[in-house]
Structure 1
Amino acid sequence: MTRPDQPVAAATSDDALFGSEAADYARYRPGLPDAAVHLLAATRHGVPESVLLDLGTGTGQVPRALLPVLHRLVHIDLVDVNQSMLRTALTALEPVRGACTVHAFTGEAHTFAPPAPGRAPSLITCCRSFHWMSRPEVPAMADRVAAPYAVVAITGDGSLWTHEAEWTAALRGLIQTCLGDDRRAGPRGPYAGPDRSYEEDLADSAFSDVAEHRFPVARAWTPEDVVGYLPTTSFARRALFAGRHHEFEAQALGLLKTHARGGVLKEDAEFTVLLARRPGGAA
């Protein structure tokens, strides 16, 4: 198994955004709903040996969820710009990967190339990270490297910044009091939302046969878990507070406790899965 300090392509790790929060990311970020995981696995029904390419893998949530249900998975390629995340992902996958081989690639998603011949991915996943990528170039890369019957799956469910509830509105207001009205995107300045939908990106690519699936998700957060989650986001990471993050976290915890009911903060989210194929490319 290749470690991220032995990448197949020379690349510079971008640890500026989430480099120091990999452990918090693994602990506090919500996982994928079971229904979405089984949907992804079902796309590989009848494929004897599946290869997974997970773009923006973070701490490896997608492959960890798929390994127990996608039994014909023979190889996984992890791609991330952040070596700390890749190390965390590799550590998490090691005890559960079995005979499945795993390779880590440090670099931007659109620059990925398979590490060896015969490893064309049949499933390409991108969970909660497509908005950080060069969106026209990622499907073009997928078209170059993927098997003829491959599926590209873009998934996500927003964040606590976008979720509309009384407690998230109060939390968002506290963050804006500290950092300004614009939503921050880590060291990259204000967040600029996409000017078009992911469906439009895919429609203009080789993977233009797109199907959308939505899964309701009910989550129960504790105030402490929300405070643990916040440093893993681009809009409330600790470095943005210029040494005042302890004060902010204490304020956030107090605010969240006033909104919790029985110690619980409820989030009713929706997890979206876009499954994209080349026209006529269903397995």
Structure 2
Amino acid sequence: MTRSSAFGNIDPETFSRRASSFGGQAAAYARERPGYPDAAVRWALEPVSGRTPPRVLDLGAGTGKLTESLVRLGADVVAVEPDPAMLAQFRSALPEVGALPGTAEEIPLPDGSVDAVLVGQAMHWFDLDRALPEIRRVLGPGGVLGGLWNLDDDRVPWVRGLKEIATSTVSFRQWDPGSDRLEGRGFRVVERAEFPHGQRRTAESMAATIATHSHVLTLPETERAELMARVVGYLRSVPETADGEFELPIVTVTVRAF
């Protein structure tokens, strides 16, 4: 039996395995994944910008990539993360931020206790039918829900070629972070914006980044090694990425609902 998810219809075992695959590589995730541009985070928080400082829940906080930006912007942050290894990595990197074990479907916070709930690279793993009522419960009056996704900009030809190489062995299609999944879910306004972003990479560090994606983490070791070799080989063959560091172009897609 398959599950209808943000990624399309896949079997529940595969979905669960991929959703829980990050903890074993928490240190690599913290080291290799990009953060989020402050402009995108600021836009997500705009509906509550008059609250100083806004109380923000980073839900599915992972290793703290989004929280780092929230702290820079002066927010009062509490984090919730289900994976113990990711949570340990978060607490090590951001000991000054309160971080709790919990899930989007059972948020360990009181009713109306935050001004905003922000989700970085994680909303596609939520069971939205259960998570959205919980999110609305912990949001105070006039609160905002924001989702952010860093997507490699495959409008650039060499990035499109890399994507074809990196996903050639898998059928798990990428989540489309559209606003339609939040429309009609108890929010008055749902909006979407895109922000330019980038990350300095080498062929090896780009392969290491791809290796932290769930569809790669769950491959057998031999297949994973073969895929990484193809990725490095491709990057060595492309003029833009052949020598030393290069800039990976990223689009940060942001959706806000309030």
1:273 aligned partner, one-letter code:
T
Task: Tell me how far 1:273 sits from its aligned partner.
Answer: 1.8
Secondary structure of residue in 1 paired with 2:211: helix
Give 1:258's aligned amino acid. Answer: S
CA distance in 2, matches of 1:231, 1:213: 28
Q: Per-residue deviation at 1:232?
A: 0.9
What is the alpha-carbon distance in structure 2 between the residues aligned to residue 148 and residue 263 of structure 1? 50
- Identical aligned residues as a percent: 23
180, 186, 200: which one pairs with 1:200? 180
Q: How far apart, in 1, do the equivalents of 2:149 and 2:221 lie?
A: 30
1:163 aligned to 146, 154, 161, which one? 154
- Kindly indicate whether the alpha-carbon contact (under 8 Å) linking 1:152 and 1:207 is maintained by their aligned counterparts in 2: no
Partner residue of 1:112?
Answer: 107
Match of 1:64 among 49, 68, 71: 68
Q: How does 1:4-43 map to 2 (within 5 A)?
A: 16-43=20-47
| Kept in 2: contact 1:218–1:266 (CA 8 A) | yes
Q: Which amino acid aligns with 2:59?
A: L
SS of the aligned residue for 2:186 comes to: coil
Report which of the two has the higher share of helix. Answer: 2
Q: TM-score, normalised by structure 1?
A: 0.73
For 2:231, give the aligned amino acid: A
Q: Distance in 1 between matches of 2:175 and 2:224?
A: 25
| 2:232 counterpart of 1:253 | yes
Tell me the number of residue pairs that the alignment of Structure 1 and Structure 2 aligns: 240
Q: Distance in 2 between matches of 1:270 and 1:154?
A: 13
Residue of structure 2 aligned with 1:102, choices 98, 101, 105? 98
Check if 1:152 corresponds to 2:148. no
- Do the aligned partners of 2:45 and 2:116 also contact (CA within 8 Å) in 1? no
Q: CA RMSD in A?
A: 2.8
| Separation in 2, partners of 1:148, 1:141 | 14
* Displacement of 1:225: 1.4
Partner of 1:129: 122
Alignment partners' CA distance in 2, 1:118 and 1:133: 20
> 1: distance between equivalents of 2:160 and 2:250?
15
Structure 1 residues 192 and 172: alpha-carbon distance in aligned structure 2, compared to 1, 3 A threshold: closer
- CA deviations 1:20-51 (Å, max 9, x no partner) are 11111111111111212333454443324532
Name the structure where strand makes up a greater proportion of residues.
2
State the distance in 2 between where 1:82 and 1:164 align: 33
TM-score (norm 2): 0.79
